[in-house]
Amino acid sequence: METMWAPWRIEYIKGEKEEGCVFCNALSLHDDLTLYKGTTTMVVMNKYPYINGHLLVAPVRHLSRLDQLTRDEMRDMLVTVEHAVRIEKEVMKPDGFNVGLNLGKVAGAGVEEHLHFHIVPRWFGDTNALTVFADIRVIPEHLTATYHSLKPLFSLLKPSL
């Protein structure tokens, strides 16, 4: 049997679990996974990504349903999704993207109390037998390295509202 080492996971296993809403907490003054804080939207890196560059775009207001968004918030969320995709294309050069919402726990929402889009860059050949047979994902780059490559371009974004 081969062993796959993932020493960075011990931080999650032994660490204190975050209380409250992860998105509302990300609005704090110091958060090393928040790439952008706008007037009505934010972009946060997924702490437990499917693949490198897995981003989350959420409204600043704590909402769980689409019908709770104002038209301006709805527009700004999609504009922010578009900016995030453009930045990832430039920096990470993926071959495509999965972009979507999981509305409700039954639909796969891990954080159902705060609406958010997933932006998942995809590359040809990014799936492998480990995911299928061993329920393991290989994330080739550390979160902080991905953060530091994306943050300079997100810093240039100006809130649209």
Helix and strand numbers, DSSP H then E, in the chain? 5, 5
Residue that has been written with the tokens 């371009």 in this structure: 153
**Residue 12 belongs to a domain:** no
pTM summary value: 0.76
- Domain containing 140 — which CATH number? 3.30.428.10
Q: What's the pLDDT at 129?
A: 46
**Residue 149 belongs to a domain:** yes
pLDDT in tens, 51-84: 889 999 999 999 999 999 999 999 999 999 999 9
**Residue 75 belongs to a domain:** yes
**Residue 69 belongs to a domain:** yes
**Residue 42 belongs to a domain:** yes
Q: What's the pLDDT at 22?
A: 85
Number of domains composing the chain: 1
**CA separation for the pair 84, 78 (Å, rounded):** 10
**Residue 145 belongs to a domain:** yes
Annotated catalytic residues are: 116
pLDDT in tens, 99-146: 999 888 887 777 878 999 999 999 887 765 445 445 566 676 787 888
Domain residue limits at 96:
19-154
**Residue 14 belongs to a domain:** no
